[in-house]
Amino acid sequence: MADGPRLSHTSAMILQALGIGHIYGYTVMEATGLPSGTVYPALRRLERDQLIRSHWERQSLADVALRPPRKYYKLTRSGEAALEASRKRYPLLAKLVPAEEVEDA
């Protein structure tokens, strides 16, 4: 019935942030301006819907950088399609979450 995934504005912003390389929770928060209580449940919901997937950074890499390991998020193929559809649906999405803010993808 649906011609493609239909996302809420918040989910679309988070997908956009992930799509341009903000690959962990805190940077998604910074990029979107959404609070932690919105971003993390949304990330879990998107992962449940198989629009994104997550993986933990290797402990050895985190040890070298003297910090705890992080959980990284990445768009799946259907997530990329959903993002593309959302960009058409929300033309201002790219302006709300601009790509030039990414530092360490």
Partner 1 sequence: MNTAWLQYTPLRVASFLAPGDRRAEWFQEWRSELWYIPRRGAMRFCLGAFRDALWLRRNNLSSVQSVRIHLESPLHCLVFLATLAALSAFIALRLPAPEGLTPASHLRPLDLPLGCVAMLIYTGLLLPTTRLVMGRAPANSQPRPWPGRLRRGIFLALKIALVQPVMLCGFLVLAAIGAVPLAPLGVCAAWILTLRWVLIDQRRRCPVCLRVLGNPVRIGSPSQTFLEWYGAESICSRGHGLMQIPEVSTSYSGTGQWLRLGRSWSSLFSTTAGARR
End-to-end CA distance of the chain: 36
Count how many residues are written for the chain. Answer: 105
Are the C-beta atoms of residues 17 and 6 closer than 8 Å to each other?
A: no
x/- letters, 86..105, toward partner 1 (CB under 8 A): --------------------
Q: Does 10 bind partner 1 (CB under 8 A)?
A: no
What is the DSSP secondary structure assignment for residue 73, as one 8-state letter? Answer: E
- Judged by CB under 8 A, the chain residues 40 through 79 that form the site for partner 1 are 40-41, 44-46, 48-49, 51, 67-71
Q: Which residues bind partner 1 (CB under 8 A)?
A: 1-2, 5-8, 11, 24-26, 35-41, 44-46, 48-49, 51, 67-71, 82
